[in-house]
Amino acid sequence: MKAKKLTDNIYWVGGIDWDLDNFHGYLTPRGSTYNAYLIIDEKVTLIDTVKHYLYDEMIARISDVIDPQKIDYIVSNHVEMDHSGGLPKLMKASKAQLFTSPKGKEGLEAHYDTDQWNIETIKAGEPLNIGERNLEFILTPMVHWPDNMLTYLPQEKILFSNDAFGQHIASSERFDDMLPLDIILEEAKRYYANIVMGYSSQVKRVLDNVAKMDLAIEMIAPSHGIIWRSNIGAILKNYTSWSKNETKNRALIVYDTMWGSTKKIAYALQGMFESLDIEVSVKNLDTHHISDVITEVLEAKYICVGSPTLNNNMLPTVASFLTYLKGLSPENKKGIAFGSYGWSGQSVGQVADVLDDTGYEVIDRVKMKYIPGKESLSNKINKLKEEI
């Protein structure tokens, strides 16, 4: 296993998780990487580690450059175990001093037996000198854990951004000019929607602060996937837009169905949006995973959610989607609840309540008994159309 050079004396020494297909519920069909970075200076410094089962791969890549026992400093930008999982073995194998945020120290102490670890907390605005270089730290609480921070290297103008700007892509290519940009941006979008979207206000604050600091950035080195060096403007533009919850004139219709009646309503809604020249996509939860559907939530202005009533409730697939949506979605969207029913008919009200709790403006509810008749459905849709 070889280290990959970012620039003189700075190397990627992470692990490639080719087999990863599910990251705590988020489908990752392209796998992922856990990116660790090695800086050779008077104080040999490692930024972040890898998931525990890729420890040997990380050590092999470090050993391609230097004896891992010569690591003096380790910077832990984030406690989550996909980046800290290599620490227990590494802290035992080296005499390294560990630098992290105050919340990072708290988190690491809660995750690992740190009695023998030499941990020092950093302060934002107080650089750490490692020889010819300084490391600067920017605290980014709740993007997306309390402990998160970024590490900036002014000499080479590299921002080690940890989860921010990452994507779940396993590849031997390390840079954004080595793979098709549309694939990298699509994976960055899926990553943002599934991991970061619920913290958009914090992302916006970080971006505003970084803009005020006027950092020169020639490389963004995240902790997952591809390193940005040729398309930094593109990923920053997207993050700025996503963090402001900017939407497109677009509708997303998400539903599940028992005997096809709720599906009929879904397709009638599709026709309505098409007639209004609003781009629309329709996702049946029986065939689309919630982590794929949530990516489409990110830029949609209208979110329509449909379920028939089963045993006085919405379908479990729809309840699962709504739970995921409520945890992640920004508030500035318009919602429509819909569904068919046979007798009790609670599902549409239940869906509308969750959309309302999520902070959406619920425009209307489309509730139809048994199989929606052509005329009654079209009357309902025409009435709804006037409200859009």
Question: Whose Cβ is closer to ligand FEO: residue 195's or residue 336's?
Answer: 195
Question: Whose Cβ is closer to ligand FEO: residue 90's or residue 305's?
Answer: 90
Cβ of residue 144: shortest distance to ligand FEO, in angstroms? 6
223 touches ligand FEO by CB under 6 A:
yes
Question: Whose Cβ is closer to ligand FEO: residue 144's or residue 367's?
Answer: 144
Cβ of residue 295: shortest distance to ligand FEO, in angstroms? 17
Question: Whose Cβ is closer to ligand FEO: residue 36's or residue 336's?
Answer: 36
- x-or-dash string of contact with ligand FEO, 66-105, rule CB under 6 A: ------------x-x-xx----------------------
Question: Whose Cβ is closer to ligand FEO: residue 140's or residue 257's?
Answer: 140
- x-or-dash string of contact with ligand FEO, 155-184, rule CB under 6 A: --------x---------------------
Q: Any idea which residues carry the catalytic annotation? A: 24, 78, 80, 82, 144, 163, 191, 224
Q: Which residue is nearest to ligand FEO (CB)?
A: 80
Cβ of residue 98: shortest distance to ligand FEO, in angstroms? 18
Cβ of residue 109: shortest distance to ligand FEO, in angstroms? 18
How many angstroms separate the CA atoms of 17 and 29, rounded?
A: 11
The residue written with tokens 């199989």 in the block is: 371
Cβ of residue 223: shortest distance to ligand FEO, in angstroms? 6
Binding footprint of ligand FEO on the chain (CB under 6 A): 78, 80, 82-83, 144-145, 163, 223-224
